[in-house]
């Protein structure tokens, strides 16, 4: 009997936003796996830290910072091999993933390598979009509104076209794309409808109008906008 692989969403960062299922699985895990960025700390591990037992084995996938894909692919290849060895030995593995595993989540890369050979269960988590909207006090979408989710690194013309054609927008991974993004919202006359949220739920969280946002944003930051064409009342 091979073990089972769990891909567990941890939510946006506040440990209180883990699901009951995620907390139980992590607390009972004998083996956990998670990515760490460029030899630094693992955000996923930090979120789950209080739940990981002292005798739990930890498989760390050290993912280098690089726009090239090959180094990250090699890191996930090695991590998947290590996880597979544990599963082959009949032990379950709980793979930790910030946010939701299938919404821009790192678990996808493990899933792509192992799902055809092992039993996998994905436990969904609260996304950063939901958390940012909650903290900003700004609903995302209601009734028959459409929501467009766009990564900040997209080219400026595409961002402009897609934001112009959308009713509600969430921009992920703002980071070093802040100047470009603010320019796009400004050019479209939507600056006053956009809100900026960084490091949601963490002690250094920032929530403010996009017009007042700092010049440089951390990777975990977002812009939310709803044109308000259809009032919610």
Give the one residue of 30, 56, 104, 206 binding its own copies; rule: CB under 8 A: 104
Asked if 11 is part of the footprint of its own copies (rule: CB under 8 A), the reply reads yes
Candidates 186, 188, 183; CA nearest to 156 is 183
Q: Which residues contact 158 (CB under 8 A, 6 or more apart)?
A: none
Among 125, 177, 210, 217, binds its own copies (CB under 8 A): 125
For helices 156-164 and 178-187, angle between their N-to-C axes, nearest 10 degrees: 40
Residue from the set 146, 192, 209, 214 that interacts with its own copies by CB under 8 A: 146
Angle at 227 between CA 126 and CA 177, to 5 degrees: 65
Determine, following the binding rule CB under 8 A, whether residue 9 of this chain makes contact with its own copies.
yes
Q: Which stretch binds its own copies (CB under 8 A): 12-20, 85-93, 180-188, 204-212?
A: 12-20
* 168: CB partners within 8 A, 6+ apart: 140, 141, 145, 146, 147, 148, 225, 226, 227
Q: Which of 123, 197, 198, 225 binds its own copies (CB under 8 A)?
A: 123
Q: Which is nearer to its own copies, 123 or 194 (CB)?
A: 123
Burial, 55: exposed, middle or buried (Cβ in 10 Å; 0-12, 13-18, 19+)? exposed
| Segment contacting its own copies by CB under 8 A, of 58-66, 87-95, 112-120, 174-182 | 112-120
- Residues in 204-233 at the binding interface with its own copies, rule: CB under 8 A: 231-233
Cα torsion at 183, 170, 46, 219 (round to 10°)? -20
Contact set for its own copies, span 18-77 (CB under 8 A): 18-21, 23-24, 73
Q: Of 29, 31, 48, 140, which one interacts with its own copies (CB under 8 A)? A: 140
Binding mask 150-169 for its own copies (x = CB under 8 A): xx-xx-------x-------
CA proximity to 93, closest of 102, 75, 81: 81
Cα Rg of the chain (Å, integer): 19
Residue 176 binds its own copies (CB under 8 A): no
Please report how close the Cβ of residue 74 comes to its own copies at its closest, in angstroms. Answer: 12
CB count within 10 Å of CB 32 equals 24
* Separation of first and last alpha carbons in the chain: 55
Considering only 37, 115, 190, 207, the residue that binds its own copies (CB under 8 A) is: 115
> CB neighbours of 72 closer than 8 A, spacing ≥ 6?
63, 64, 66, 109
Q: Using CB under 8 A as the criterion, which residues of the chain lie in contact with its own copies when the complex forms?
A: 9, 11-12, 14-21, 23-24, 73, 100-105, 108-109, 111-113, 115, 120, 122-127, 129-131, 133-135, 137-151, 153-154, 162, 231-233
């Amino acid at each position: 009997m091979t073990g089972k692989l769990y891909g567990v969403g941890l939510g946006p960062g506040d440990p209180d936003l883990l699901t009951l299922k995620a907390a139980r699985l992590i607390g009972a895990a004998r083996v956990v796996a998670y990515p760490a960025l460029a030899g630094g700390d693992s955000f996923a591990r930090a979120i789950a830290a209080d739940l990981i037992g002292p005798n739990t084995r930890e498989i760390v996938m050290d993912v280098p910072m690089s726009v090239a894909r090959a180094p990250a692919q090699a890191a996930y290849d090695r991590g998947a091999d290590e996880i597979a060895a544990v599963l082959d030995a009949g032990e379950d593995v709980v793979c930790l993933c910030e946010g939701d595993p299938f919404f821009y989540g790192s678990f996808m890369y493990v899933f792509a390598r192992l799902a055809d050979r092992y039993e996998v269960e994905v436990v969904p988590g609260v996304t950063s979009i939901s958390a940012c909207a909650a903290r900003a006090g700004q609903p995302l979408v209601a009734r028959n509104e459409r929501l467009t989710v766009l990564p900040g690194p997209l080219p400026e013309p595409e961002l402009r076209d897609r934001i112009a054609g959308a009713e509600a927008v969430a921009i992920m991974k703002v980071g070093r794309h802040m100047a470009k993004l603010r320019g796009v919202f400004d050019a479209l006359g939507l600056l006053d409808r956009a809100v900026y949220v960084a490091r949601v739920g963490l002690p250094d969280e920032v929530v403010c109008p996009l017009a007042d946002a700092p010049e440089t944003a951390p990777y975990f930051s977002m812009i939310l906008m709803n044109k308000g064409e259809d009032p919610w009342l």
